[in-house]
Amino acid sequence: MSYQSLFYGTLFLPAVFVLYTLTKQAYRKYVLLGASWLFYFLAMHRVTWVLVATCVGVYGAALWIDRASGRQRTMRLACAIVLLAGALIRVKYAGWIADGIGMLAGHHFSVRALVVPLGISYYTLEAIGYLCEVYWQHQAADRDFVRVALFLSFFPQIMEGPIARYQDSAASLCAGQPITGQSLRNGCLRMLWGFFKKMAGADRLSLLVTVIFSQPHRFHGWAALLGSAAYVAQLYLEFSGMIDVTMGTAEVLQIHLPENFRQPFFSRSASEFWRRWHITLGTWLKTYVFFPVSTSHLVVNGNRQARKKYGRQTAKVWTSFLALTPVWLFNGFWHGAKWHYIFYGLYYLVILMLEVILEPAKKRFYSRTGFSPDRGLFSILRWLRTLAIIVAGEVIFRADTVTTAFTMIGNVFRGPSHVHALLAASHLDLSDGFVVVLCLVLVTIVDVCREKGVHLFAWFDRQPTAVRWALSYSLIFALICFGAYGAGYRKVDMIYAKF
């Protein structure tokens, strides 16, 4: 079962809302936990025990860590993290690691493939984050098993996130706030908006993307650029759309979850892009990888010595490199056991290191010339440069191999375009193109409003009843008319659910 299945939208979710409403506030957390484990069982069947065992293990490990002090406390945290990471590595990366060792040793090692539990990459990060907060004494070990289990298993976020922090969402999950008319309306509207982005835009673009990435040597010039840009659009529409479905479901239940996107394509640098894109993964990496590494004795002492010997800027570059390298290696490795994911992380490591290295020169240039990097021509050029960086990075992310990625990027600058051949091969007609363009225009308008600080739900609530109903039915009508589904439709799997 997935969020876009008919059973989920017409039976499962309404049943959860009704049962939640009929249950007393103190017991609503049990309804949500039961619904979450039922959802997981319907999706994964017998593998559900892995999620349940993780919940039990994390609950016990937090109490175990909380009772210790000193080195014993550190050892207990390390043991818990090793077990959690070990389970993730076994199911997702064991075959890839065995192939790498076999290639170096000149001998083939066979590893039994296991079913990858749904959402294991997400709830493992949440579990590690919770245990670290307990270890740092930022959060007391929770003695309420249901709250810990619901934090790790909440069904709307199990497939694609967002990756929450315990202190930010656990209490809200178990508060049992009532479903109100406003929360139901706003939540359902956000869910419909998310489904529209996924089914009207992303699923159509997937046809074009599949063609060009399955035939990387065939298309060049504008066709290669169009296919690459189409994947960026598909990824954003799909990922942000499914996050909207998650956030809308939580909104109905008056549960607070962290936002995962903040208009990422308004960014004017790669570092700003990653502050706006997949925000919760970036926050997790900053909190539990970057800060511990950058404040470690090794890095702090190294920075002190480098400042004395080579100067402040060189020390900053060296410290940034030491702290960012594990962050971006982890980022790439988290996405999957393939070399192009690792290279994707290294690609952004190089880009961000160049930003650090060139920062003093840029400041001197803007100071001497009086130009502003945030206005006029320079702002536009920075935006275009960032878009190029994003598109190239996502080509590396989507391609089957690093070689294929470089081939596709190189094809943009050579050979005939064959745009018509690309569109014909993807079986997209004029009506499909109209729907995709309409979807992109609407998403752009919404993002512009959000960037300018317009609170769309507050604006919606101020409108007359007739206008609110008209807008609501327009969104439903657009989803019915323009959504990709029905006879002959092949469901497109959610991209980030596989991670």
Q: Which one of 128, 161, 178 terminates a domain?
A: 178
Residue 14 counted as domain residue: yes
Contacts of 61 (CB under 8 A, 6+ apart): 76, 80, 131
pLDDT band at 437 (very low <50, low <70, confident <90, very high): very high
Domain count, the chain: 2
Residue 493 counted as domain residue: yes
Give the separation between CA 247 and CA 172, rounded to whole angstroms.
Answer: 13
- Domain range enclosing 188: 180-268+417-499
Both structure tokens of 407: 């081939």
Burial annotation 447-480 (CB, 10 A radius, 16+ → b, else e)? beeeeeeeeeeeeeeeeeeeeeeeeeeebeebbe
| 54 lies in the same domain as 157 | yes
Residue 478 counted as domain residue: yes
Contacts of 69 (CB under 8 A, 6+ apart): none
| 75 lies in the same domain as 152 | yes
Give the separation between CA 407 and CA 401, rounded to whole angstroms.
Answer: 10
| 73 lies in the same domain as 144 | yes
Which segment of 65-74, 356-365, 366-375, 399-408 scores lowest on mean pLDDT? 366-375
Residue 390 counted as domain residue: no
Closest alpha carbon to 148 in 126, 132, 163, 122 = 126
Residue 334 counted as domain residue: no
Residue 174 counted as domain residue: yes
What percentage of the chain carries pLDDT values higher than 90?
60
- Helices 376-398 + 402-411 axis angle, to 10: 140
Mean pLDDT of the chain: 89
| 69 lies in the same domain as 116 | yes
| 62 lies in the same domain as 151 | yes
Give the pLDDT confidence score for residue 65 in this predicted structure. Answer: 96
- Tell me how far apart the terminal alpha carbons of the chain are, to the nearest angstrom: 17
For residue 126, the SS3 value is helix
For 191-245, write each residue's pLDDT tens digit: 999 999 998 899 999 999 999 999 888 888 888 899 999 999 999 999 999 999 9
Residue matched to tokens 């609170």: 455
Give the separation between CA 494 and CA 4, rounded to whole angstroms.
Answer: 9
Residue 235 counted as domain residue: yes
The beta strands (E) that lie in 315-466 are given as none
Give the separation between CA 7 and CA 2, rounded to whole angstroms.
Answer: 9
| 63 lies in the same domain as 172 | yes
| 162 lies in the same domain as 212 | no
Q: Which residue has the higher pLDDT, 150 or 110?
A: 150
| 21 lies in the same domain as 82 | yes
Q: Which residue has the higher pLDDT, 434 or 130?
A: 130
For residue 368, the SS3 value is helix
Q: Which one of 122, 143, 178 terminates a domain?
A: 178
| 123 lies in the same domain as 12 | yes
pLDDT band at 484 (very low <50, low <70, confident <90, very high): low
pLDDT band at 487 (very low <50, low <70, confident <90, very high): very low
Residue 396 counted as domain residue: no
**Other Cβ atoms within 10 Å of 194 Cβ, number:** 24
| 118 lies in the same domain as 198 | no
For 316-348, write each residue's pLDDT tens digit: 888 899 999 999 999 999 998 889 999 999 999
Alpha helices for 144-220 (secondary structure H): 145-153, 166-174, 181-196, 203-214
For 263-301, write each residue's pLDDT tens digit: 999 999 999 999 999 999 999 999 999 999 998 888 888
Q: Which one of 127, 150, 178 terminates a domain?
A: 178
Give the pLDDT confidence score for residue 433 in this predicted structure. Answer: 87
For 376-409, write each residue's pLDDT tens digit: 788 899 999 999 999 999 999 999 999 999 999 9
| 47 lies in the same domain as 160 | yes
| 155 lies in the same domain as 195 | no
Task: Please determine, for residue 483, whether its predicted confidence score (pLDDT) is greater than 80.
Answer: no
Both structure tokens of 337: 């056991």
